[in-house]
Structure 1
Amino acid sequence: MTNPYQDIFKAPGSFAFSASGLIARLPVAMITLGIVTMLSQTHGAYWLAGAVSAAFALSNALIAPQISRFIDRYGQRRVLPPVTIITILALMALIVSARYGAPNWMLFLFAVLAGFMPSISAMVRARWTEIYRDTPKLHTAFALESVVDEIIYMLGPILSIGLSVALFPEAGPLAATLFLAVGTLLFIAQRSTEPPVHAQDRSKGASVIRLRPLQWIVLTLIAIGAIFGTAEVTAIAFAEEQGQKAAASIVLASYAAGSLIIGLVFGALKFKRSLATQFLLAITLAMLTTLPLLFATSIPVLAVLLFLAGAAVSPTIIISMGLIERLVPPSKLTEGITWAMTGIGIGMALGSSVSGLVIDAYGARFGFCVSVAAGVAALTIAGMVYWSARPKPVTHCEATVSAPC
């Protein structure tokens, strides 16, 4: 039996763009916590560090889909260089401002400009789609990239925080800036696999987010992202309540490991059910795995429960990308994928903030109530995705062209 992951790399240039894309999108997992770590050391104010980090995250959530719209219209090679240069200059200015005590408004300004960081993850998936569109290998490729995302979000924060603490406060964001510059340069150099610019459909310049099915998917992923964000914050608070705050890293690693392992297995399997049905089942699993978290009594129990909860992460993202590839016109695929990734990011931010308020008021375990609420919301919205994406029955009027409607 052949290895499906080995098979997808038989396409010329596939390993090069996937590997360079990994380097280029590593900063996504480094910048937010890197800003917090940097400013908390240079300015001694966590409120400022969190606010500047949130300004970057919100800016990127709003700007990245617009950048992807331009990429769909003009191509990766024409759009990526200028927006990457803007991001690099803004990050360098932010680092210098933090280093030399610039006014707070300058920190916010450069954080917002750094939001021009493009969604390399969407562009990597767009290249896989161009190579394997309408083939089973695309499912495997999407699974691989979801696993890569998991690895990035495991390593990125550790690397960013570790550098800033061990070397100097600005080391984490500086490393992220270098990764972005080098990775993007290598990625752009892979011209043979760059997707061609497809002819725009009748909607021309209109955003793909106007498509109702995509709206439902993004809303579902916001709710799913809230589950992720809540799990991270609550796990740390729970470990602290247990007097073992350092154990939070083990618990979160277990969560990521569950997603990574199941993602690899899921990507190697073939399914006969429609993507809409798979999506509904994956969201159902995600909701159900939030319920046992309410009854965690110790660090080992929580680690096991989060490992099981992680089993729903990768399949949900993989299926979401497959649905978007089917629902969105090829001329707007990069933007569609970017909206999905943005939805997850917005959800994580919401989950983190809301669960933090709940934990402060009622205790760590009640933080998981936010996960349950987000899971119920995700399942409710996923029902709308299923309804809008499922195959519609052919009416007699449609089957018989000559029949009067």
Structure 2
Amino acid sequence: MLQSRSADASLIAHAGRSYFPIALIARLPFAMMVVGVLTLVVASRDSVALGGINSAFVGIGSAVFGPMVGAAADRFGQRTVLVPVGLTNAVLLGVFPFVVQGSAPDLAVLAMAFCIGASAPQVAPMSRSRLVAIIRQRMAPDRHEKVLSGTMAYESAADEVVFIIGPFLVGLLATAIAPWVAVAGASVLTFVFVTAFALHPTGKLALAHHTDVPQAPASQLLRLRLVVVVVGILGIGFFFGSTLTSLTAFMETHGQASQAGLLYGLMGIGSAGLALGSAAFPRAFGVGWRWLVFGVVLLGGTIAFASADSVVAVAVVLAVMGIGIGPTLVAQYSLGSDRSPVGRSATTMTILGSAVIVGQSLASAVVGDVAERSGTATAMLFPAVSAGIVVLAAVVNLVLSRRRA
């Protein structure tokens, strides 16, 4: 059980020292799924388009069932929901390599990919929900704003780290051993760490928070100020998927397709660092403006990416693009947390988390098909389109905020 702590104690003291490493590793399989499925299917069935479609089915499964998992956690508690969901997902990931490498038809592979997405444990949004509950219940009111800002910065940095490290690990394992090892590894991580996360005492605290406060109507999830955040974070998902898939096609033309994940990891250098540093930004540099400014940085990097013609140039541009991603995600998740309807924090955070993987998956499918039909150069234009969506949503968000003010 959670020990009683002073209201002046740190968030780490309230949550427990084991919580943060467990929550960080537990979200890693979620980031490995889309890329792992893409890499395994491309390697086993020799089709970038088929790999992209399968990764899209992972995202569709997550989009359909992810918010339901979050809503169930809001109602019944995270432990009750996460344990069976995590075990189911671990089994499906463990079986998937046998299905892909066997004689099963493509339709069966697609069905498995959909089920993997549908059963994906929503660790990141549930972690945010738990920490917000701790801050609001256990900490002094005058500390809420500052600690919440730092927490959202950490959580976004953690997401950024795993969404970069996940593909990096997939690329590393695929290159060093075999593509199926990454999916099998995700199965093991899910079985061990998602279960540990589900059983952590903080899960009960989050449930207590929701049972004490009446839930707002589900219709409030459709408020325009929240929808624009979902659209913006969907654009980040489009960016992840289009960048990784076009990068894979680019590296394939250079005879190094399995190393795309390694190169992709370069984005994490500036991204995670600036995400963590977001808590130090001055108050005058508002969250909405951070989203717009760093979104423009991301857009500039994607335009340069589209014209890069060498591995070295692509590596440099990826590092620059990383500077724009982290602070943008921090701003979006902070706005999402602030605009979450009462009693529906897990649902809201799950919708935001699902939007990332849905965007990533759909973009992987579309860009994979474009790469095969129209070539790598055309595929490398899509990250700029994705960044454009992020910037446009940021502008709309500022307009809505001014009208509300």
- Bigger Cα Rg: 1
- Equivalence for 2:61: 59
Distance 1:374 1:172, change over 3 A: closer
After superposition, the Cα gap between the structure-2 partners of 1:369 and 1:45, relative to the gap in structure 1 and judged at 3 Å, is closer
1:120 to 118, 123, 137: 123
Give TM-score, length-normalised by structure 1: 0.82
2:305 paired with 1:293: yes
Query: Is the CA contact 1:160–1:176 (under 8 Å) kept in the aligned structure 2?
Result: no
Are 1:131 and 2:134 an aligned pair? Answer: yes
The partner residue of 2:344 within 319, 324, 332 is: 332
Q: How far, CA to CA, are the matches of 1:63 and 1:85 in structure 2?
A: 16
Query: 1:24 and 1:207, CA in 2 relative to 1: closer, same or farther beyond 3 A?
Result: farther
Write the distance in 2 (CA, Å) between the matches of 1:136 and 1:53.
Answer: 38
Judged with a 3 Å threshold, the aligned counterparts in structure 2 of structure 1 residues 365 and 101 are, in CA distance, closer, same or farther, namely closer
SS across alignment from 1:15: coil
- Picking from 197, 215, 219, the partner of 1:201 is 215
1:281-312 residue CA offsets vs partner (Å, 9 max, x unmatched): 33333333333334435333332222222111
Following the alignment from structure 2 to structure 1, what is the Cα–Cα distance between the partners of residues 295 and 220?
23
Secondary structure of residue in 2 paired with 1:21:
helix
Pair 1:189-2:204 in alignment: no
Whose relative contact order is higher, 1 or 2, with alpha carbons under 8 Å and at least 6 apart?
2
Give the corresponding residue for 1:303: 315
2:246 equivalent among 227, 234, 238: 234
1:386 is matched with 398
Letter of the 1:19 counterpart:
P
- Gaps of at least 5 residues in structure 1 are 1-6, 394-405
Q: Is the 8 A contact 1:233 1:355 kept in 2?
A: yes
Deviation at 1:180, TM superposition (A): 0.9
2:185 corresponds to: 175
CA spacing shift, 1:304–1:75, aligned 2, 3 Å: same
State the Cα deviation string for residues 59-81 of structure 1 (Å, max 9, x = none). Answer: 11221111101111222122212
Contact 1:31/1:173 (CA < 8 Å) preserved in 2?
yes
1:156 counterpart residue number: 166
Q: Distance in 1 between matches of 2:185 and 2:224?
A: 39
- Asked if the contact 1:142/1:318 (under 8 Å) is kept, the reply is yes
Is the Cα contact below 8 Å between 1:136 and 1:270 reproduced in 2?
no
Deviations 1:91-111 (A, max 9, x none): 344455456645554444333
Residues 245, 117 of structure 1: alpha-carbon distance in 2 compared, 3 angstrom cutoff = closer
Identity rate, percent: 24
How many residue pairs match? The answer is 385
Q: Quote the offset at 1:325 in angstroms.
A: 1.1
Per-residue deviation at 1:371?
2.6
The separation in 1 between residues aligned to 2:182 and 2:309, in whole angstroms, is: 35
| Residues 4-403 of structure 1: pairs in structure 2 closer than 5 A | 10-39=12-41, 49-95=51-97, 97-98=99-100, 101-102=103-104, 104-114=106-116, 115-133=118-136, 134-160=144-170, 162-163=172-173, 170-192=180-202, 194-195=205-206, 196-198=208-210, 199-203=213-217, 206=218, 209-239=221-251, 241=253, 248=260, 251-360=263-372, 363-390=375-402, 392-393=404-405
Change (3 A) 1:223 1:84: same
SS at match of 1:185: helix
1:66–1:262 Cα change, 3 Å = same
Alpha carbon RMSD of aligned pairs, Å?
Answer: 3.2
Instruction: Say which SS state the counterpart of residue 284 (structure 2) adopts.
Output: coil
Maintained 8 Å contact 1:287/1:376: yes
Of 358-367 and 208-217, deviating more is 358-367
Contact 1:222 1:347 in 2 (8 A): yes
**Deviations along 1:338-377, whole A, 9 cap, x unmatched?**
2112222222234334444554566544444323333333
Which letter does structure 1 place at the counterpart of 2:74? D
